[in-house]
Amino acid sequence: MEPSETQSSESTTRGDPSLLNIAENILEQTKAVTRYLQNNNLAEPTFYPKSSQPPTTDEYLQLQSSLRTSLEDLQRLVEGPKRFLRSFVTMGYDIAALQVALDFDFFTLVPPDGDISMEDLAEKGGLDLDRTSRVVRMLITHRLFDEKRPGYVSHSASSLVLLEDEELRCTVQYSFDEMLKAAADSNVSLKQYPSESDSTHCPFYTRHGLPLFQYYAKYPDKAARFAKAMAGATRMDRHIRELRDCFSWGDLKGTVVDVGGGSGHISMSLARSFPHLNFVVQDESTNMLDEGRAILTDDVRERITFAQQSFFEPQPVREDDPAAAYLLRQCAHNWCDRDLVTIFRSIVPGLESSGSATPFLINDIVMPEPGESWPRLLERDIRQIDMIMLIGLGAKQRTKREFEALLKKADARYEILKVHATGPMGLLEVYLRQ
């Protein structure tokens, strides 16, 4: 979604609006949401376990974002600053209840249909009855679980999804386990290293004593959960639309090099959309490459190959087989500026040997420039991800100007020809002028 799409609706709640004006705006926005659902033969969402999920179309997400912004404005005005801060600072205790419920398997022990007594839940989970009931009843205030009859727990729509969707459950659990614990040491880490930021000078390292990727190499059980969590996060708010639709793939001929492509799921998706192209998936991890080979399907098998290659090492010269394009997707934000310059510099030999018409596509979050007006909730979403990078890797999300500065530092010939998209899935089209 482009930032401009929701600016007009958000402008109605800017400045110093009255409670009644915001409420009237909420009514009109709610009517628009209802009309959309009715026109598309979609059921309205409810709190019941079997409620349908809201759609994820661009039009609905725009309506949703606008309504959520107005609802938040109304709540903040009604609460006042002190009440808001009280809710904000006690959020950690709500999270503590959710963390306990995850670690004691409450979400999987409560049956998908029917209910379970508090006594049985406590016994099966391995926690005493008193604290089991206190944790569950805390979560019920957030509509996680339900207690339709005293002493018996059943699922709500929000808790049922954590039973049925293992990847989403892993996303929530890893966020509250290693990442939240690291976040709690952010002030300690930044005071210790006020002028340095990389994988060994960040809150994750301060808390856990290892860089993130080395930590997961040491603890395979948590690495497995992390892998599922990343798959869950991808389904929550990442997609391939901007990459697939904004760039003219039909004009390319030959082989696309997917740098740091992991198991190759993006190359596989692009290969299905553009059958005239071949792809080579590069990754340093042999495990990721092996996983890619295992999930490769017959419809693209002949057009996708895998190669072990670190993106910190220079790309192979391709004079005999020039690349059609180089793709770096969702990698840049994992690295500090110094490391990203090295990655950008490593692409140069491949671009030089493939010709000046070969695009280098950077598919990553592109942050708003200072002073640029974005819808507040959209900007908050991506700034939350920026904080994840700061905490976990000592890395960051970047604006177009920041990308441009690092590209020029890597090689003065780099030029950003076009920004196809900004926001959660930005797309930069870059060339090496020769």
Do residue 250 and residue 362 come from a single domain?
Answer: yes
Do residue 377 and residue 244 come from a single domain?
Answer: yes
The alpha-helical segments, DSSP class H, found in 209-317 are: 212-218, 220-237, 241-246, 265-273, 286-295
Do residue 275 and residue 393 come from a single domain?
Answer: yes
CB contact at 8 A, 314 and 282: no
Do residue 338 and residue 409 come from a single domain?
Answer: yes
Whole-number pLDDT of residue 7: 40
Per-residue model confidence as pLDDT tens digits over 129-138: 999 999 999 9
Do residue 53 and residue 73 come from a single domain?
Answer: yes
Do residue 136 and residue 186 come from a single domain?
Answer: no
CB contact at 8 A, 429 and 248: no
Per-residue model confidence as pLDDT tens digits over 390-415: 999 999 999 999 999 999 999 999 99
CB contact at 8 A, 33 and 343: no
pLDDT band at 233 (very low <50, low <70, confident <90, very high): low
Would the pLDDT of 201 be above 60? yes
The structure tokens listed for 337 are 């500026």
Give the torsion through C-alpha atoms of 395, 396, 400, 402, to 10 deg. Answer: -50
CA distance 326 to 351: 8
Per-residue model confidence as pLDDT tens digits over 63-119: 999 999 999 999 999 999 999 999 999 999 999 999 999 999 999 999 999 999 999
pLDDT band at 328 (very low <50, low <70, confident <90, very high): very high
How many helices (H) and strands (E) the chain has is answered by 20, 11
CA distance 132 to 186: 30
Do residue 298 and residue 213 come from a single domain?
Answer: no
Whole-number pLDDT of residue 223: 87
Whole-number pLDDT of residue 295: 87
% residues pLDDT > 90 (the chain):
76
% residues pLDDT > 70 (the chain):
95
Per-residue model confidence as pLDDT tens digits over 269-280: 999 999 999 999
pLDDT band at 169 (very low <50, low <70, confident <90, very high): very high
Q: Are strands 423-432 and 304-308 parallel, antiparallel or unpaired?
A: unpaired
Q: Residue 19 in 3-state DSSP?
A: helix
pLDDT band at 240 (very low <50, low <70, confident <90, very high): confident
The half-sphere exposure of 132 on its side-chain side, counting CA atoms within 13 A, is 23
Do residue 251 and residue 393 come from a single domain?
Answer: yes
| Chosen domain end from 129, 164, 199 | 164
**Catalytic residue among 155, 201, 333, 420, which?**
333
CA distance 186 to 146: 35
Q: State the amino acid at position 114 in one-letter form.
A: G
Whole-number pLDDT of residue 1: 40
Do residue 108 and residue 19 come from a single domain?
Answer: no
Do residue 140 and residue 217 come from a single domain?
Answer: no
Q: State the amino acid at position 394 in one-letter form.
A: G
Closest CA to 170 of 182, 181, 161, 157: 161
Would the pLDDT of 237 be above 80? no
CA distance 123 to 113: 20
Would the pLDDT of 11 be above 60? no
CA distance 414 to 88: 44
Domain count for the chain? 4
Do residue 316 and residue 413 come from a single domain?
Answer: yes
Whole-number pLDDT of residue 8: 42
| Chosen domain end from 210, 235, 260 | 235
Whole-number pLDDT of residue 232: 67
Is 333 one of the catalytic residues?
yes
Whole-number pLDDT of residue 53: 85
CA distance 36 to 66: 14
Structural domain boundaries enclosing 146? 91-164
Q: Which residues touch 394 (CB under 8 Å, ≥6 apart)?
A: 196, 197, 198, 199, 200, 201, 202, 205, 336
Do residue 171 and residue 113 come from a single domain?
Answer: no
Give the N- to C-terminal CA distance of the chain in Å, as an integer.
Answer: 34
Would the pLDDT of 32 be above 80? yes
Whole-number pLDDT of residue 352: 97
